[in-house]
Amino acid sequence: MISNLFSIFDPRTTFGISFNWLRTFVGLIILPLGFWVTSNRYSIFVKKLLWSLHQEFMTLLGPNVKPGHTLMFITFFIFILFNNLFGLVPYIFTATSHLVVTLGISLPVWLAIILYGWLNHTKHILAHLVPLGTPGALIPLIVIIETVRNIIRPGTLAVRLAANIIAGHLLLVLLGNQGPGASSAILGVLLVVQVLLLVLETAVAAIQSYVFAVLSTLYSSEVI
């Protein structure tokens, strides 16, 4: 039984040193060396996945996309997916459950997009603040709403990712804590539910990585 439900998201170890942050890179250690050297089923799958993401992001960015533009968003997808999946392994710290990580990714991206847009496509950015067909009397209100919507984008990206990861982990912990005092029949049901939740969390890990990358791509496409 844990004393604090949220202690599973505490990056400190019993020694008071944040070694848990280093555990997010444990996947690089357990991957076989052949993955980096020779062509195999896993590397071919990864290449096909990255190529599919590249094609989709190219479509979202439009005809004005520059070479290498999609590489940044593919990197976000891989980094977030890597941390989400390995965070489901026992005793491995989930970095993406902390706003300091998710906001640390979304805020620089948002700032870069905004600065690039205002410096290179000022008229285009201003045009986005007033949708076509907006009545003249509503223009000031619409400008305020669109400005607020643009400002809160990094926060919504960060909170969406962290909240989904936290919710799943908390549910797994809550159900797991019922095991020691449960009967054999209830314990069997708990095991089945835990396995199903773990499968669901695996899907959530992949979906949230994809959502973060796609939304970042869409925000970038508005200033190109």
pLDDT of res. 1: 43
**Could you tell me if residue 169 is inside a domain?**
yes
145 within some domain:
no
Q: Does a structural domain hold residue 157?
A: yes
Q: Name the residue range of residue 79's domain.
A: 5-120+153-221
Which residue pairs from 195-200 have beta carbons closer than 8 angstroms and sit at least 24 positions apart in sequence? Answer: 197/168, 197/171, 197/172, 198/88, 198/172, 200/168
Give the mean pLDDT of the chain.
81
Total number of domains constituting the chain: 1
Q: Is residue 142 in some structural domain?
A: no
Residues of the chain with pLDDT under 50: 1-2, 14
H and E: helices and strands count for the chain: 9, 0
Domain assignment of residue 133, yes or no: no
Q: In angstroms, how far is the first alpha carbon of the chain from the final one?
A: 52
Residue 39 lies in a domain: yes
CB 8, CB 166: distance < 8 Å? no
Q: Is residue 29 part of a domain?
A: yes
Whether 47 is covered by a domain: the verdict is yes
Residue 97: predicted pLDDT: 85
Q: Which amino acid is at 148?
A: V
Long-range Cβ contacts of 41-44 (<8 Å, 24+ apart): none
Distance CA 79, CA 56 (A): 18
